[in-house]
Amino acid sequence: MGFAGLSLYSQAVLLFAGLIALTSFLMLGQSRLVRLVLVFAVQGMLLAATTAMVAGVLDFPHLYISAGLSFLLKGILIPVMLHRLIHRLGLHRELDTIEHPARVTMGGAFLMVFSYYVSLPVVAHSPLVTLNAIAVSLAVVLLGMLLMITRRQAVAHVVGFMSIENGLFFAAVVSTYGMPMVVELGVAADVLVAAVVFGVFFFQIRESIDSLDVDRLSKLSEADKS
Amino acid sequence: MAWLMAIFQTLLFIGLAPLLAGWIKRVKCRLQNRKAPSLFQPYRDLRKLYRKRPIVPHPASWIFRAAPYIVFASTVLAAATVPLVAIHLPTARVADVIVLVGFFALGRTFLVLAGMDIGTTFGGMGSSREMTISSLAEPAMLMAVFTLAMSAHTTNLSQAVNFVLDSGLVLRPSFVFAMGGLILVAIAETGRIPVDNPATHLELTMIHEAMILEYSGRWLALIEWASQIKLMLYGVLIANIFFPWGIAETFTLNALGMGLGMIVLKLAVLAVMLALSEVLFAKMRIFRVQEYLSFAYLLSVLGMLSHIILEAAR
Amino acid sequence: MALFLAGISVLAALLSGLAALAAGPNGPLRQGMPGWMEKPLFRILRENGRPAPGRFSRLARTIPFLLLGVSGGFSVAAGIIALLGGTTRTATLPLGLPWLNWHLALDPLAGFFFCVLGIPLIAASLFGPDYVREFECGKHTLSVLGLFTGLFVAGMELVLLADDAFLFMIAWELMSVASYFLVAYQHENAANRRAAFLYLLMAEIGAIAIILAFGVLAAFGGGLIFEELRNASPNPAWSSIAFVLALAGFGMKAGLVPLHTWLPEAHPAAPSHISALMSGVMLKIAVYGFIRFAFDLLSSVLWQWGVVVLLIGSASAVLGILYALQQQNLKRLLAYSSVENVGIIFTALGLALIFQSSGQSQLGTLGLVAALLHALNHALFKSLLFLGAGAILHQTHEQSLENMGGLIHRVPKLAALFLVGTLSIAALPPFNGFVSEWLFFQTALQAGSIQSGILRSLIPTASAVLALTSALAATCFVKVYGVAFLGLSRSRHIARARDVHHPGMLAGLALLAICCVLFGVLPTPLINALGALTQSLTGFVLPNISALGWLWLTPVAPEVAAYSPALVLLGTVAVGWLCYYLLYRRTGLEPRRAEPWDCGFGGLTARTQYTSGAFSMPIRRIFEPVFDTRETIEEQTEGPANTRVTKLRYQFQVLDRAWLVLYEPSGRAVTRLARWVGRLQTGNIRTYLGYSFFTLIVLLWVVS
Amino acid sequence: MIAAYLILLIPLAGMAILGLMADSRRAGRINIRCNAWALAASIWLAVDVLVRGPRLSSGQMLYIDSFNVYLVVLTAFVGLTTSIFSGPYMAHEEETGRVNARRLRLYHSMYQGFMLAMYLVLTTNNMGVLWVAMEGATLATVLLVSLYRTPESVEAAWKYFILCGVGIALALFGTVLLYFAAEQKLGVGGNALLWTVLHENAGALEPTIMRLAFVFLLVGYGTKIGLVPLHNWLPDAHSEGPTPMSAILSGLLLNDALYAVVRCKMLVDGSLGTDMAGYLMMGFGLLSFLVAALFLHRQTDIKRLFSYSSIEHMGLMTFAFGVGSSWATFAALFHMTTHSLTKSAIFVTVGHAAQLAGTQRMDRIRGLILTQPAIGWGLLIGTVAIAGFPPFGVFASEFLVLVATMRDYPWLTPLLLVGIGVAFAGLFRHLHPVVYGDIPENQKPISANLMGVMIHLALVLWLGLSIPGFLGNWFSQATQLISGASPL
């Protein structure tokens, strides 16, 4: 059956999936930190929305909580915090241009395809939706890593890290309708603490190398010093 | 009876050795158109030395004094194991041919130690050269006798000679090699030309003489005598191993007489050959000796291999 | 019974280590010793009062060595009982892995090696107390020395007792580690540290090789107990792999060429009584391991193995002695000659393997007996020589032959004992070294009875090499004795050396010397005692070893070969005495002292006599390609046109070729590889993220 | 099961109290006390399990079987000894002015936090909670790594955080997939992540998904184990943080990460029925083993040196678990114990040595044995033990690994041989000048408490000589559990 044959719910899920993947791509191409954080916030909200929708349609009440959590954390708290930090550290003017953006986007596309290819075997045992969901979230995870690899700004790394988490959550929500409550809470707490610690680190790094360019954090290496 | 025979033969060995030396000297003089000393000159020399009061150099230790006796004793024991006029000797059971080589080594070792005991340059030089030469010559000799031992399936000299006798006239290629090796070794070990020159006292060419330079009186006599016995011993080895015919297999009187005559004859012939070679060849440089000896070593090993490959092949 | 005694000896060794620890400067024995036992103890030890805390009392020296002596005595007793009893006692200790307790066993083979271990141990424990006195003021505590000596000995004894691979390896490694600490004992000079490092590295690699060899058998036998390993029947390929691994592992410990380089470094570095144990005994433990593996555990034997062992053995023999000839440091020289002797032992073992595999069990047994006998003899005279070197070191603080000379006038007793060792190791009749070489030649001469022509021509060649080796060995040790003990002393402190007046030292040396002569003169009873051993290993007993009575040694048959050392000794003494009597007593001419002939240049000095380097120079010339010789000549000239040479300085050193071809390249390779790998860790976090990323991608792609 | 809860509650309370405590001395003492109590509780738990077998808590939240019970005791023990050592150490650091009271407070409370995370990782029955605890361990230690605020330490902490964070995130994805696979069979619900439940019907889990899941879990937790090429954070974090932290990281964190991987492997093996997981682990283990062995040769910093040796040993254990035969598994379990005991002891001595010389650069640390024999010998003996020499316990496991490998994958043994040789050379070429030789002038003996080191080494020695019966039983049962075959 074609896409039109799917239930409205599935279509919506897939739509959200596409949107989230899109936001990941946007982040990949984004060179200004401020906008990067903005897009990240959008992604967080999309995730929250998806969660809420799943909760509503298939009525998993505990998913509302996780929806709220991710809305608060990923949609509001962390972006705002990052935004603040960026301004306090005076990075809002800073451009984090990536070499060969074209190649990076190409790579992203390849990752998309690759994650489909990887999650194909799953198709046999689960509805199309889940397959796509898993594929997309895998893609988002990989894209997040790619983002971290290509960026030199510590903030960008944080964003990439968080977007990886977003990808995970999307998978968790759509494929398994959320994790057990304990885990949800634990993960949320971890994310929160992680965000705080990141904040602390920005200042520590700043005071040690007075910039946030991670390429300059390369004292500890095994390669020949000479 | 057998033991008596052995002892008698040993005494014969000891007694005849100077004679052989005298004979060689005589033949050599003749060949060089010099007036020859009497055949018994070596005996006279020994007697003279025996009478003289020996001199001990100051740095010498007891080794210096003990060495001559040990050298002489080991040489005599070596002589006791070699069948001179008769085989089936009981002594051949006490010490076989490997032990024979061992006896030579023992004597040599003490001679060398005595040479180093005084601390003169000559002593050290002679000792170093002697050990160098012997360390190449000894394995060559071992290999030569091993060739015999392997074909005779025994290292017991009497048995081996007996085996050669019994097997009659067999043209063994291995024996040719072995004999060549043994002859070369004999020349080197007894310090004859072209390896060493017993007659010279020119410092830089001495080997044997350099070691015994400090000896005098009865000790010198013992050492000289021992070296004469050694020379004769090698002669007897070559003669009786490779041409054993005529040697007494029983202890009857005429057999023994026959054996005695034969061995004297053989030794005389060998001595003439030795003298000839000494007249014809010149002494070589000390560092050419190694080539000479390694040739001897090669010959003996070849002899052994040829025995393994050509003769014992099944 | 025997096993019990052996256990006691192990315990005694461990106790001696603990005692040394306890008797240390602040050990319980020194601090918290109640008065009532202190007084008599000190009175026994002829020591007035408690010594200053820093220093070591005679207590700390004596008790550990006492216990070591006890251990040695018990191990000899256990060995003899096990050897003569001919039965195998086994036991298990509740130690080790849950499913694999420690299995102990004492069979004739182990018993024999217990004897090999015990005699030098007794000698060393007699020698030790006076020897280590010079250490007690040093910066290194005696208790460390004593502790690791005890562990070392215990390890060796446990190796002999082990009956499963696990315990065997534990004991083996314990032996290695303890001896490593002993090598590193005087670690303030860098050479010792380097030696210790090299030694432990080689020991580690060798041990892993042995473990893997056991592993092969365990894979087929299903267990790690020797009984299960015996029942393992791997196919020829696998058993060959196991054999090669074992040969590499044990050969590395035994110091076979080209894995020998650690040996001349490590053995001299240790204190002399330890060097004696290492060179005299530890190498024999390696030999034991090899025999145990090749003749006992491996079910079948291939002739190719024998050939390999034969070749490696003879190579080690000749190279070892050639290098030994070029050494100027006495202890290094002795260590190299250990390489030679181990080479001889392995050559004999190779013969035994060849004969075994070609069905000639009796000849195989003969070769085995020759190897065992030489192991025992080498243990005796090498310990004697090392202890002698230690005594020289103790008296003169001198190791280099170039500075010795004339010691026979300074230390006559030591000189006499050392002479015995020299003559034995030079394989001269009627000493013990000669017997084993004679047996080896007798074995080799039976090569004609082998079918395959290759082997028949190979064995004589090997024996030719061995003949060369023994001649060179004679040269080498004549040089040692002549340069060290005879002639004029080459340095002042040698000229002022005091005689050895420590009864313990002399007793230790004398014990070994007596054994050398005894086993040289009466080898036949000894060889008869090996019957049970060979029965258990090759299923064969030499039938007519004493066909002509106990005076004679007739390995194959009376008419084939016979040798009676006792009669030889008798004859030599008789003839010698006769000459002496006739020539001296009759004439009564007293010799006259005079100056030696000095070519008229008034007065001989030590500078004019041959040095050890000069003595071995012809050999160095002849065997040029073997050595890696570095010669330097510095000369200062002056006068018109610098014609007159005022000062001439010549020095040469002979290096081991194995370094250049094997060790340095591998070391460089590791360093280069490490540098190359080091580039991976750039220090840039994005690279690291890239690694994780690509690892993930690759894995996903692999699994799906 | 009260004991299990106690084990979790004590450090929780400790974390809270120490977070509020200003006086660093007393904080140190309280830290020790908490660990002591935790150890007591763990021993109680151990006895409980010994008597009554595997225990499942009422809420099915905690699960103690023979696999993790001894790890709990080990964790508590190492935590205790290390905290005892950290008292004088941190005091010395404070005197030298490298840390101030505020950071010390952070240090002490985070110490307890880390212990809590470790206990939770071990005792929990829920794979999700396990993940949470693992992440918590990272968060607890990451600020300790940058405790000294030197540029290097900040850099190290950042790398540690980012790399482990990403890795852990991947592990979470793996957990999600696991949950997904489980849900297919067990239906939506809380207990689909409980290890006991999963293990019961591992055979029913969907292989294709499990395969993906294991890849993510391996890469994720493998980052924490320090498997090459995911190891890059490890040497930095070990060398730059305070030494007690290096000790517990090396001794506990790596072990627990490996524990998590093994738990997952058990599930995957049950579901796949192939050796896929085993092969992956063997590959990673061998690679880490060899590469780390090579890295040992290039070190100049003594703590980096031993952290690489930790990587090497972790690689060996992973390899052994991958081989999966009963002997190999037993060896790996045994090695986990001996390695963490020995390595933590080594780090303690290393810390003292570094303080004694005032630097971590090995070319400045010389002649320890003559300077302060206790430290010198401790370091030397510890290194001998870790290098796998008997009669210490590490030897037994290396022996078994070698034999087992020879039995199952003989062609891999040359690599092991070379690896062990290279690693040994790398360790000792650096160690020799450090412990041996004469005293350099700038070194003075310091006050050091080496009782812990002695106890650790004595334990390792004892384990090497004979494994006590109950421990042997636990090992054997765990082996039975993991490899499905008993070594006995």
- Rounded to an integer, the average pLDDT of D146-159 is 87
Of A141, A183, A193, the CB nearest to D173: A141
Helix (H, G, I), strand (E, B) or coil at C166: helix
Cβ D396–C677 below 8 Å, yes or no? Answer: no
Chains touching chain B through at least 3 C-beta pairs below 8 angstroms are C
- Going by pLDDT thresholds of 50, 70 and 90, the confidence category of residue B174 is confident
Residue B259 has pLDDT above 50, yes or no: yes
**Residue listed under structure tokens 């040698």:** C494
Number of folded domains in chain C? 4
Q: Is residue C288 included in any domain, yes or no? A: no
Chain D residue numbers touching A172 (CB-CB < 8 A): 176, 179
- Domain boundary among the residues C221, C250, C278 is at C221
Per-residue 3-state assignment (H helix, E strand, C coil) for chain D: CHHHHHHHHHHHHHHHHHHHCCCHHHHHHHHHHHHHHHHHHHHHHHHHHHHHCCEECCCCCEEECHHHHHHHHHHHHHHHHHHHHHHHHHHHHHHCCCCCHHHHHHHHHHHHHHHHHHHHHHHECEHHHHHHHHHHHHHHHHHHHCCCCCHHHHHHHHHHHHHHHHHHHHHHHHHHHHHHHHHHHHCCCHHHHEHHHHHHCHHHCCHHHHHHHHHHHHHHHHHHHCCCCCCCHHHHHHHHCCHHHHHHHHHHHHHHHHHHHHHHHHHHHHHHCCCHHHHHHHHHHHHHHHHHHHHHHHCCEHHHHHHHHHHHHHHHHHHHHHHCCHHHHHHHHHHHHHHHHHHHHHHHHHHHHHHHHCCCEHHHCCCHHHHCHHHHHHHHHHHHHHCCCCCCHHHHHHHHHHHHHHHHCHHHHHHHHHHHHHHHHHHHHHHHHHHCCCCCCCCCCCCCCCHHHHHHHHHHHHHHHECCHHHHHHHHHHHHHHHCCCCC
Best of D284, D294, D409 to mutate (most C CBs within 10 Å, chain C): D294
Chain A residue numbers touching C690 (CB-CB < 8 A): 149
Chain B residue numbers touching C599 (CB-CB < 8 A): 203
Rounded distance between C-alpha atoms, residue D242 and residue D93, angstroms: 9
Per-residue confidence (pLDDT) for residue C55, from 0 to 100: 47
Of A120, A145, A218, the CB nearest to C682: A218
Per-residue confidence (pLDDT) for residue C49, from 0 to 100: 47
Of D214, D407, D420, the CB nearest to C219: D407
Chain B residue numbers touching C597 (CB-CB < 8 A): 57, 120, 122, 213-214
Each residue's pLDDT tens digit, B275-312: 999 888 888 888 788 888 889 988 988 888 888 777 76
Helix (H, G, I), strand (E, B) or coil at C482: helix
Burial readout A150-159 (b: 16 or more C-beta within 10 A, e: otherwise): bbbbbbbbbb
Contact B178, B300 (CB under 8 A): yes
Per-residue confidence (pLDDT) for residue D36, from 0 to 100: 92
Best of C170, C672, C698 to mutate (most D CBs within 10 Å, chain D): C170
- State which of C17-26, C78-87, D20-29, D32-41 shows the largest mean pLDDT: D32-41
Contact C600, B114 (CB under 8 A): no
Rounded distance between C-alpha atoms, residue C678 and residue C669, angstroms: 14
Of residues B278, D132, B281, C221, the one with CA closest to residue A189: D132
Chain C residue numbers touching D295 (CB-CB < 8 A): 674, 677-678, 681
CA angle A85, A90, A95 (to 5 degrees): 105
User: Is residue C200 within 8 angstroms of chain D, CB to CB?
Assistant: yes
Rounded distance between C-alpha atoms, residue B139 and residue C471, angstroms: 7
Chain D residue numbers touching A176 (CB-CB < 8 A): 176, 179-180, 183, 188
**Residue listed under structure tokens 């010390």:** D104
Chain D residue numbers touching A219 (CB-CB < 8 A): 151-152, 155
Per-residue confidence (pLDDT) for residue C51, from 0 to 100: 47
Answer yes or no: do C679 and C651 share one domain. Answer: no
Per-residue confidence (pLDDT) for residue D367, from 0 to 100: 83
User: Is residue C662 within 8 angstroms of chain D, CB to CB?
Assistant: no
Rounded distance between C-alpha atoms, residue C173 and residue A52, angstroms: 66
Phi, psi of C647 (to 5 degrees): -135, 130
- Rounded to an integer, the average pLDDT of C32-51 is 50
Chain C residue numbers touching B196 (CB-CB < 8 A): none
The amino acid at B103:
F
Of A149, A157, A221, the CB nearest to C683: A221
Per-residue confidence (pLDDT) for residue C419, from 0 to 100: 94
> What residue numbers bound the domain in which C679 lies?
659-703
C abuts A (3+ Cβ pairs < 8 Å)? yes
Each residue's pLDDT tens digit, C563-575: 888 888 999 999 9
Answer yes or no: do C128 and C143 share one domain. Answer: yes
The amino acid at D66:
S
Per-residue confidence (pLDDT) for residue B243, from 0 to 100: 87
Mean pLDDT check: name the lowest of C87-96, C462-471, D209-218. Answer: C87-96
**Residue listed under structure tokens 């903030």:** A155
Listed by number, the residues of chain C in 555-574 with a beta carbon closer than 8 Å to a beta carbon of chain B are: 558-564, 567-568, 571-573
**DSSP type of residue A75:** I
Residue C53 has pLDDT above 50, yes or no: no
The contacts of residue B314 (CB under 8 Å, 6+ apart) are C451
Per-residue confidence (pLDDT) for residue D356, from 0 to 100: 85
Contact C683, A223 (CB under 8 A): yes
Per-residue confidence (pLDDT) for residue C42, from 0 to 100: 55
Mean pLDDT check: name the lowest of A107-121, B55-69, B177-191, C64-78. Answer: A107-121
Of residues D417, D330, B130, A217, the one with CA closest to residue C686: A217
Answer yes or no: do C345 and C481 share one domain. Answer: yes
Cβ C579–B69 below 8 Å, yes or no? Answer: yes
Per-residue confidence (pLDDT) for residue A113, from 0 to 100: 86
Of residues C426, C346, C326, the one with CA closest to residue C385: C426
Of B50, B59, B76, the CB nearest to C575: B76
Answer yes or no: do C634 and C697 share one domain. Answer: no
Mark out chain A residues that contact chain C at CB-CB < 8 A: 114, 117-118, 120-121, 142, 145-146, 148-152, 157, 214-215, 217-224
Answer yes or no: do C481 and C423 share one domain. Answer: yes
Cβ C680–A222 below 8 Å, yes or no? Answer: yes
Per-residue confidence (pLDDT) for residue B203, from 0 to 100: 66
Residue D208 structure tokens: 């294709």
Cβ D180–A130 below 8 Å, yes or no? Answer: yes
Instruction: Break chain D into its structural domains and give their ranges.
Output: 278-488
Ordered mean pLDDT values, 10 residues apiece, chain A (226 residues): 70 86 86 86 90 84 84 86 85 72 83 84 66 84 89 86 88 80 81 85 82 78 67
Q: Is the peptide bond before C430 cis (omega within 30 degrees of 0)?
A: yes
Contact C16, C146 (CB under 8 A): yes
Chains touching chain A through at least 3 C-beta pairs below 8 angstroms are C, D
Per-residue confidence (pLDDT) for residue D332, from 0 to 100: 92
Listed by number, the residues of chain D in 299-328 with a beta carbon closer than 8 Å to a beta carbon of chain A are: none
User: Is residue C693 within 8 angstroms of chain A, CB to CB?
Assistant: yes
Closest-CA residue of C relative to D476 is C98
Whole-number Cα distances in Å, D270 to C55, D182, D198, D204, D277: 66, 13, 10, 9, 11
Per-residue confidence (pLDDT) for residue A3, from 0 to 100: 65
Helix (H, G, I), strand (E, B) or coil at B243: coil
Of residues C109, C135, C148, C161, the one with CA closest to residue C55: C135
* D100, burial (CB in 10 Å: exposed 0-12, middle 13-18, buried 19+): exposed
Best of A218, A220, A224 to mutate (most C CBs within 10 Å, chain C): A218
Per-residue confidence (pLDDT) for residue D342, from 0 to 100: 92
Helix (H, G, I), strand (E, B) or coil at C648: strand
Answer yes or no: do C12 and C148 share one domain. Answer: yes
Rounded distance between C-alpha atoms, residue D209 and residue D178, angstroms: 7
Measured in residues, chain A has a length of 226
Closest-CA residue of A relative to C693 is A145
Instruction: Break chain A into its structural domains and give their ranges.
Output: 7-210
Residue C594 has pLDDT above 90, yes or no: no
Of residues D140, D444, D430, the one with CA closest to residue D304: D430
Of residues D290, D314, D317, D297, the one with CA closest to residue D415: D290
The contacts of residue D128 (CB under 8 Å, 6+ apart) are A179, A180, A182, A183, A186, A187, D175, D179, D193
Best of B14, B46, B71, B94 to mutate (most C CBs within 10 Å, chain C): B94
Rounded distance between C-alpha atoms, residue C292 and residue D326, angstroms: 28
Instruction: Break chain B into its structural domains and give their ranges.
Output: 2-133+154-166+199-274
Mean pLDDT check: name the lowest of C295-299, C352-356, C655-659, D322-326. Answer: C655-659
**A142 vs chain C: nearest CA distance in angstroms?**
8
Per-residue confidence (pLDDT) for residue A133, from 0 to 100: 79
Residue C330 structure tokens: 């006495």
- Going by pLDDT thresholds of 50, 70 and 90, the confidence category of residue C48 is very low
Each residue's pLDDT tens digit, D240-289: 888 889 998 888 999 999 999 999 998 888 888 788 888 999 999 999 99
Each residue's pLDDT tens digit, C219-246: 888 888 888 888 888 888 899 999 999 9
Beta bridge partners of C92: C103
**DSSP type of residue B37:** P
The contacts of residue C303 (CB under 8 Å, 6+ apart) are C353, C354, C357, C358, C452, C455
Residue C70 has pLDDT above 50, yes or no: yes
C abuts D (3+ Cβ pairs < 8 Å)? yes
D254-272 and D66-95 helices, crossing angle to 10°? 160
Per-residue confidence (pLDDT) for residue A123, from 0 to 100: 61
Best of D228, D395, D467, D474 to mutate (most C CBs within 10 Å, chain C): D395
Whole-number Cα distances in Å, C464 to A150, B310, C315, C540, D195: 73, 19, 12, 28, 73
Of residues A79, A3, A12, A50, the one with CA closest to residue A178: A50
- Going by pLDDT thresholds of 50, 70 and 90, the confidence category of residue D200 is confident
User: Is residue C237 within 8 angstroms of chain D, CB to CB?
Assistant: no
User: Is residue C572 within 8 angstroms of chain A, CB to CB?
Assistant: no
The amino acid at B64:
F
Chains touching chain D through at least 3 C-beta pairs below 8 angstroms are A, C
Rounded distance between C-alpha atoms, residue C162 and residue C159, angstroms: 5
Contact B297, B143 (CB under 8 A): yes
Of D280, D399, D421, the CB nearest to C211: D399
Residue D488 has pLDDT above 80, yes or no: no
Of D146, D235, D236, the CB nearest to A204: D146
Residue B286 structure tokens: 């000390």
CB count within 10 Å of CB D60 equals 15
Best of D103, D150, D152, D166 to mutate (most A CBs within 10 Å, chain A): D166
Beta-carbon pairs below 8 A across chains A and C: 59
Q: Is residue C666 included in any domain, yes or no? A: yes
Residue D198 has pLDDT above 70, yes or no: yes
Question: Which has more confidence, C55 or D305?
Answer: D305
Of residues C198, B186, C197, C154, the one with CA closest to residue D465: C154
Cβ C681–A215 below 8 Å, yes or no? Answer: no
- Rounded to an integer, the average pLDDT of B34-60 is 89
> Mean of the per-residue pLDDT values for chain B?
87
**DSSP type of residue C162:** B
Of residues C463, C430, C467, the one with CA closest to residue C447: C463
- Rounded to an integer, the average pLDDT of D417-432 is 90
Of C470, C561, C568, the CB nearest to B155: C561
**D178 vs chain A: nearest CA distance in angstroms?**
10
Per-residue confidence (pLDDT) for residue C60, from 0 to 100: 67
Q: What is the pTM of this model?
A: 0.91
Contact D263, D201 (CB under 8 A): no
Of residues D276, D192, D186, D288, the one with CA closest to residue D235: D288
Best of B128, B212, B223 to mutate (most C CBs within 10 Å, chain C): B128
Rounded distance between C-alpha atoms, residue C370 and residue C353, angstroms: 13
- State which of A110-124, B38-52, B190-204 shows the largest mean pLDDT: B38-52
Rounded distance between C-alpha atoms, residue C336 and residue C425, angstroms: 13
Of residues A1, B274, B110, the one with CA closest to residue C426: B110
Closest-CA residue of D relative to A184 is D128
**DSSP type of residue B213:** T
Each residue's pLDDT tens digit, D73-125: 999 999 999 998 888 888 888 888 888 888 888 888 899 999 999 999 999 98
Per DSSP, the residues of C586-614 read TT----EEEPPP-TTSSS--GGGSPPHHH
Contact B76, C573 (CB under 8 A): no
> Mean of the per-residue pLDDT values for chain D?
88
Helix (H, G, I), strand (E, B) or coil at C31: helix
Q: Is residue C601 included in any domain, yes or no? A: no
Residue C324 has pLDDT above 70, yes or no: yes
Answer yes or no: do C207 and C125 share one domain. Answer: yes
Contact D348, D243 (CB under 8 A): yes
Per-residue confidence (pLDDT) for residue D259, from 0 to 100: 93
Cβ C701–A114 below 8 Å, yes or no? Answer: yes
